[in-house]
Amino acid sequence: MPIMNTHSILLNGIDGYVNLGNPQAINDIGTGDFTIEARIRCKNEVVSSSYHQPIVTKSTFATGDWGFNLNAYYDDHRLTFHFDSTGLTANAGGAKLNGDVWKRVAVTRSGSTVKFFIDGVNTSTFTGVALFSISNVNDLIIGARVPFSVERRFNGNIDEVIFWNVARSEAQFLETGNRSLLDSELLDPTLIAYWAFNEGSGTTVFDSSQNGIDGTLNGGVTFSTDIPFTDPIPPEPDTWLGTKVFQSTDYYNVIDFNRENINAEYLRLKLIDKGYVTNFTKPVRNLLRSDFPYVETINDLRSNINALINIYTTKTALPIIISSDQVQVFDCEKANELELPQQEIYELIDLMEQLYRYSGTFSAGQEVNL
């Protein structure tokens, strides 16, 4: 099931920010194409006429290292993007972001073209922009700009901060609409970072992409239930996501676990709901990276797979041997022990369809759709 939006972060405009360190995955974008997007709700209060509302920054203004800064700028909160050492500013056509309402903002680069989007709509386009790199030694910050001062703090809510290493189109922004990223999108190799801020408590925010760029809340920033959208209750899985054969150079992460979990639920629906299995526990919930690695969840999934193996194959069930120390060194052999049985069971469904076609359960010759 996809991530469900439950929280945003609320920054007080004085000393609140999120520090994400200096992530290599962001630096790797370099001079390549990118998309930076976020949901923001700017408060109307303005400290001064030079007040910045930094959304996402990676720069040190005091040393002249501009890096990049996506801002709701000045007292009318126009969307702007500062970049490279010359401090050029691209103003999004004067579009206003104030009014204490949620807005979805984004900036993209494709070659020498920079585009701005507000609520999915392309508000302005700049061509012939000098090539600049977003790679630098500065920390990636949400809600503030270095050096920290009250004039470089975001005052309001931020949610759904996302980095891609491609320039997303207006059609893609409009298609995703008001929802969290789907499981298939979390597996997209062009997704570099995704902070959904659904933790609800604590001081850590977790990246739901495969890069694990986790951050720390600092100062006057808290979790808030004021959110830009509410996700619909997701339908039961109706898609088989396939399996993966792990090599010694691979590693098992939360994306792999969630894919297996969705597959297990898919199998459960195919088998239980047709009355073929009565003692199979529903798989554990979809995990965030903040949940992983938890021994119990891995063992629960293995137990579920074991239940299917016991009923539909003659193979010996997989032993539940994962422990807290083993999970930290989860190797490809153990990962394949989870993957391969699912693939075998999935293939057995096709065989079962043939076997039941002429069984006493159905009329002779009746087609059976599992």
Query: If we measure between CA atoms, which residue out of 147, 114, 146, 152 comes closest to residue 131?
Result: 114
Q: Are 185 and 56 in contact (CB under 8 A)?
A: no
Q: Which residue has the higher pLDDT, 341 or 134?
A: 134
Q: Is CATH 1.10.357.10 correct for 8-224?
A: no
Which of 44-58, 144-158, 265-279 is least confident? 265-279
What is the structure's pLDDT at 310? 54
What is the structure's pLDDT at 132? 86
Distances (CA, A) of 260 to 80, 152, 292: 41, 43, 14
What is the structure's pLDDT at 89? 65
Does the pLDDT value for residue 288 go beyond 70? Answer: no
What is the structure's pLDDT at 72? 84
Does the pLDDT value for residue 304 go beyond 80? Answer: no
What is the structure's pLDDT at 349? 64
What is the structure's pLDDT at 363? 41
Which of 16-25, 114-123, 349-358 is least confident? 349-358
Q: What angle do CA 238, 168, 207 make, to 5 degrees?
A: 65
Query: If we measure between CA atoms, which residue out of 39, 28, 32, 14 comes closest to residue 224?
Result: 39
Query: pLDDT (tens digit, 9 = 90+) per residue, 146-181?
Result: 776 656 889 899 999 999 999 999 999 988 888 898
Mean residue pLDDT across the chain: 75
What is the structure's pLDDT at 253? 61
59-65: which pairs have CB atoms within 8 A and are 24 or more residues apart?
59/136, 59/138, 59/145, 59/146, 60/138, 60/146, 60/147, 61/145, 61/146, 61/147, 61/152, 62/146, 62/147, 65/136, 65/137, 65/138
Token pair for residue 283? Answer: 């798989």
Q: Are 72 and 157 in contact (CB under 8 A)?
A: no
What is the structure's pLDDT at 329? 41
What is the structure's pLDDT at 334? 60
What is the structure's pLDDT at 37? 97
Does the pLDDT value for residue 48 go beyond 80? Answer: no
Is residue 71 very low, low, confident or very high in pLDDT (cuts 50, 70, 90)? confident
What is the structure's pLDDT at 40? 95
In this prediction the pTM is 0.67
Is residue 78 very low, low, confident or very high in pLDDT (cuts 50, 70, 90)? confident
Q: How far apart are the first and last CA of the chain?
A: 21
SS3 363: coil
> In one letter, which amino acid is 108?
T
Domain ranges in the chain with CATH number 2.60.120.200: 8-224
Is residue 188 very low, low, confident or very high in pLDDT (cuts 50, 70, 90)? confident
